[in-house]
Structure 1
Amino acid sequence: MPPTTVPALDDRLLTFVVSVLLGGVAIHVGALVASDARGYPHAVLTALVGAVVWALLEPVPLIGGLLALVAWVAVVRWQYPGGWLRAGATGVAAWAAAVVVLAALDLFGVGGVSALGVPGA
């Protein structure tokens, strides 16, 4: 029997959990930089809700990416104090933090994870 190329459920679950936790780290850092941080568990919840919103809206033809991005910023605005500009700044800072963390992990040979809940990371 040839080896299977589909990761085991345990591996996929671990990747999902690590990706959500990394997304939470990035959003928490973004909130520390641009908003009032409410704690890491709150950031993980924001990452999870943001990932669901993104997954639901991004496939919409023609405007899905823009619609998903606006909705994701709306989730950040809903979860953290401040207006649209502060939520956007939190998102940009979260994206930058995610890129740095993922690049550092890649340097140490840890690949295959993402920052779930942070668009573009």
Structure 2
Amino acid sequence: MAAADSILIFVLSLLVGTIGILAGARLVLDRDASFVNAAVTALIGAAAWGITSFFVGWIPILGVVLMLVIWVGVINWRYPGGWGSAAAIGFVAWIVAVGILYALAAVGFVTPDALGIPGI
């Protein structure tokens, strides 16, 4: 049962992250952003966050800042517009993910600690 739970959490997290990044890209870039590109960005971003967390996450303040910079860097790499646009996409993605997870937690589908965007 633990494997099934892990798979469900992974899929739900990827979906929430994808929707957040897709919303951010569409709002900030004012153009069509594809679901597939957002999903790949969410997947790469989560992997980069996890790897960075493993190596520097234990360093107070600096570790979290580096993890966030790496995550925004992935968005910057995957979408046009530079670091400012990438940071804005990341911020919108975070807000959207918080809203989705709050709604899912309110109806009892997930616990509030579900992940999809780093730091949620």
TM-score scaled by length of structure 1: 0.86
Q: Would the alpha carbon gap of residues 114 and 44 (structure 1) be closer, same or farther in structure 2, given more than 3 Å must change?
A: farther
Counterpart-to-counterpart distance in 1, 2:20 and 2:47: 17
Structure 1 residue corresponding to 2:11, chosen from 17, 38, 48: 17
Aligned residues: 114
Counterpart-to-counterpart distance in 2, 1:37 and 1:115: 25
Structure 1 residue corresponding to 2:46, chosen from 36, 51, 66: 51
Counterpart-to-counterpart distance in 1, 2:32 and 2:52: 26
Tell me how large the CA RMSD over aligned residues is: 1.6
Counterpart-to-counterpart distance in 2, 1:54 and 1:73: 10
Q: Which has the higher helix share?
A: 2
Q: Would the alpha carbon gap of residues 119 and 46 (structure 1) be closer, same or farther in structure 2, given more than 3 Å must change?
A: same
Structure 2 counterpart of 1:64: 63
Flag the structure with larger Rg.
Answer: 1
Higher mean C-alpha displacement, 32-41 vs 85-94: 32-41
Divergent runs of 4+, >4 A: none
Higher mean C-alpha displacement, 28-37 vs 38-47: 28-37
For residues 1-121 of structure 1, what are the structure 2 equivalents within 5 Å? 7-35=1-29, 36-59=31-54, 60=56, 61-62=58-59, 63-112=62-111, 114-116=114-116, 118-121=117-120
Runs (5+) with no aligned partner, structure 1: 1-6
Higher mean C-alpha displacement, 90-99 vs 62-71: 62-71
Runs (5+) with no aligned partner, structure 2: none
TM-score scaled by length of structure 2: 0.86
Structure 2 counterpart of 1:4: none
Identity fraction in percent: 39
1:50-77 CA distance string (max 9 Å, x none): 0111011123142221111111111001
Counterpart-to-counterpart distance in 2, 1:65 and 1:90: 18
User: Does the 8 A contact of 1:57 with 1:68 survive in 2?
Assistant: yes
